[in-house]
Amino acid sequence: MQTFNPELCYLNNTLQRGKRVVVENGFIVEIGEGDNSDKGLYLPGFVNAHSHAFQRGLRGRGEAFPAGANSFWGWREEMYRLVNEVASTSFKSWCLSAFQEMRNAGITTVGEFHYLHHEEQFDYAFDDIVIEAAKEVGIRLVLLHASYQHAGIGMPLSEEQKRFNTQDFDKWKTQIETISTRISESELCSLGLVAHSIRAVEQEAITQIADLAYHMGLPLHLHVEEQQKEIQQSLDAYSKTPMRFLCDEIEISPLVTAVHCTHTAEADMEEWLTRGGNVCICPLTEANLADGICDVPRIVRSEGVISLGTDSNARISMLEEMRLLEYVQRLYRQERGVCINSEGDMASYLVDIATKNGARTLGVKAGSIETGKLADFVVIDTEHQQLQGVTEEHLLAALCCGCDNSVIIKTIIGGH
Ligand SMILES: [Zn+2]
């Protein structure tokens, strides 16, 4: 049993003093009166709903433009160069770096959208490495295991993409079962399923994967409409957008998440949200890759569930992801206060996105400080220079607008 006496604690969307949080077997079992003896502000640990840890190895690469400006597709060539260089030792070291930086950024759970599977042909060697790396760092991992079948609709995998290959659906399913058994022994690891995107997975396989996730009660994640080209390919091949295809063909639930939705049509988005689907946005990566700007106000108006991901891990900071989600909209719309809850509160809304919504997206019992939830916390130094002179009333907003990772004292995961 562990007991925490946070000086300040984020409970029921308010900051409260003098609480005592009792933890048993990793879960919060009681919240009562405490003595303020633990310094700092305790927030639920941040949940990073979308990461490709190996892309940490790309940091600083692909940022020179001798032939002039390029786009997402130029970046992807650099990423494929990295994919071809990677060996198990470098793969592990990037995973370790990414996960350690995540903890330093207050992240207690990561959804690792994992599609770089093979060291040699079909060995799935990198799957175990992701799990090992997360375990060594002590971060909670939801291994979102991805299917990846072709280069584009009706196009065979290119040489660079061979390490992603899950063309043999039965073998992929067997691997899922193997991992599922292994993971069940680990307290800090769980599983989710992924169809990489409409461009990389066959229609029939997408519906099969969605069925499998639904029947296993697992989260399902997909990249959706990050790029205009993906939408055009889908329209050419299927006469419908990727999102329209998903709405027509799969069971949508609060465990199903579309990542990006940068260019999603209004009617498709409305249906996705109404049927309980989540949207994961990755502001820093989407900016870095010049993806475009998601129509966030529409999701906010529909009370849709947005979560955040560090995606390419070119920079790992949940505070910056939260800030940029709002700031991109301010720049684009010349309006302030786009990401707000029904009380008009931006800071609580952004904190919820980074905690509660991420937890729903990954199907973990975390994301809020309440009885029955996992004891995952991020502790903020309220005496840090970046928060100097800030009153309690403005503390969360100051955190969202004015702080970097240096205000984070520590993360606590499952009470440790
Ligand atoms: Zn991604």
CA of 406 to the centre of ligand 1 (A): 26
Q: Are residues 395 and 383 in the same domain?
A: yes
CA of 380 to the centre of ligand 1 (A): 28
Tell whether pTM > 0.85.
yes
Q: Are residues 38 and 106 in the same domain?
A: no
CA of 22 to the centre of ligand 1 (A): 37
CA of 300 to the centre of ligand 1 (A): 22
Q: Are residues 94 and 207 in the same domain?
A: yes
CA of 145 to the centre of ligand 1 (A): 12
How far is the C-alpha of 38 from the C-alpha of 296, rounded, in Å?
A: 37
CATH code, 154: 3.20.20.140
Q: Are residues 284 and 181 in the same domain?
A: yes
In the chain, the number of structural domains is: 2
How far is the C-alpha of 206 from the C-alpha of 408, rounded, in Å?
A: 40
Does residue 213 fall inside a structural domain?
yes
Which residues are CB-neighbours of 315 under 8 A, at least 6 positions away? 284
CA of 287 to the centre of ligand 1 (A): 13
CA of 261 to the centre of ligand 1 (A): 11
Residue closest to 326 by CA, chosen among 299, 356, 362, 302: 299
CA of 52 to the centre of ligand 1 (A): 6
**Alpha-carbon separation of residue 120 from 84, 124, 162, 165 (angstroms):** 11, 8, 9, 11
Domain that holds residue 22: 2-43+373-412
CA of 385 to the centre of ligand 1 (A): 34
Which residues are CB-neighbours of 110 under 8 A, at least 6 positions away? 47, 48, 51, 53, 99, 102, 134, 139, 140, 141, 142
Give me the pLDDT at residue 359, please: 98
In the 3-class helix/strand/coil scheme, how is the chain assigned residue by residue? CEEECEEEEEECCEEEECEEEEEECCEEEEEEECCCCEEEEEEECEEEEEECHHHHHHCCCCCCCCCCCCCHHHHHHHHHHHHHHCCHHHHHHHHHHHHHHHHHCCEEEEEEEECCCCCCCCCCHHHHHHHHHHHHHCCEEEEEEEECCCCECCECCCHHHHHHCCCCHHHHHHHHHHHHHHHCCCCCEEEEEEEEECCCCCHHHHHHHHHHHHHHCCCEEEEECCCHHHHHHHHHHHCCCHHHHHHHHCCCCCCEEEEECCCCCHHHHHHHHHCCCEEEECHHHHHHCCCCCCCHHHHHHCCCEEEECCECCCCCCHHHHHHHHHHHHHHHHCCCCCCCCCCCCHHHHHHHHHHHHHHHHHCCCCCCCCCCCECCEEEECCCCHHHCCCCHHHHHHHHHHHCCHHHEEEEECCCC
Q: Are residues 27 and 53 in the same domain?
A: no
How far is the C-alpha of 91 from the C-alpha of 124, rounded, in Å?
A: 13
List residues bridging with 44 in a β-sheet. Answer: 377
Does residue 215 fall inside a structural domain?
yes
Does residue 368 fall inside a structural domain?
no
Residue closest to 114 by CA, chosen among 160, 166, 69: 166
Residue at a domain's end among 338, 362, 386: 362
CA of 224 to the centre of ligand 1 (A): 10
CA of 113 to the centre of ligand 1 (A): 7
How far is the C-alpha of 276 from the C-alpha of 255, rounded, in Å?
A: 8
Give me the pLDDT at residue 185, please: 72
- Report whether 142 contacts 108 (CB < 8 A): no
Does residue 117 fall inside a structural domain?
yes
- Report whether 176 contacts 145 (CB < 8 A): yes
CA of 223 to the centre of ligand 1 (A): 6
CA of 159 to the centre of ligand 1 (A): 20
CA of 222 to the centre of ligand 1 (A): 9
CA of 149 to the centre of ligand 1 (A): 16
CA of 86 to the centre of ligand 1 (A): 18
Residue at a domain's end among 323, 339, 362: 362
CA of 221 to the centre of ligand 1 (A): 10
How far is the C-alpha of 275 from the C-alpha of 123, rounded, in Å?
A: 37
Q: Are residues 52 and 160 in the same domain?
A: yes
Per-residue pLDDT of the chain (416 residues; tens, 9 = 90+): 999 999 999 999 999 999 999 999 999 999 999 999 999 999 999 999 999 999 999 999 999 999 999 999 889 999 999 999 999 999 999 999 999 999 999 999 999 999 999 998 889 999 999 999 999 999 999 999 999 999 988 899 988 899 999 999 999 999 999 999 988 777 899 999 999 999 999 999 999 999 999 999 999 999 999 999 999 999 999 999 999 999 999 999 999 999 999 999 999 999 999 999 999 999 999 999 999 999 999 999 999 999 999 999 999 999 999 999 999 999 999 999 999 999 999 999 999 999 999 999 999 999 999 999 999 999 999 999 999 999 999 999 999 999 999 999 999 999 99
How far is the C-alpha of 202 from the C-alpha of 206, rounded, in Å?
A: 6
Q: Are residues 38 and 51 in the same domain?
A: no
Q: Are residues 339 and 217 in the same domain?
A: yes
Q: Are residues 28 and 124 in the same domain?
A: no
CA of 378 to the centre of ligand 1 (A): 25
CA of 154 to the centre of ligand 1 (A): 22
CATH code, 393: 2.30.40.10
How far is the C-alpha of 269 from the C-alpha of 299, rounded, in Å?
A: 8
Does residue 311 fall inside a structural domain?
yes
Q: Are residues 399 and 351 in the same domain?
A: no
Residue at a domain's end among 324, 341, 362: 362
Q: Are residues 383 and 324 in the same domain?
A: no
Does residue 367 fall inside a structural domain?
no
CA of 27 to the centre of ligand 1 (A): 30
Q: Are residues 38 and 142 in the same domain?
A: no
How far is the C-alpha of 53 from the C-alpha of 144, rounded, in Å?
A: 12
CA of 312 to the centre of ligand 1 (A): 7
CA of 235 to the centre of ligand 1 (A): 22
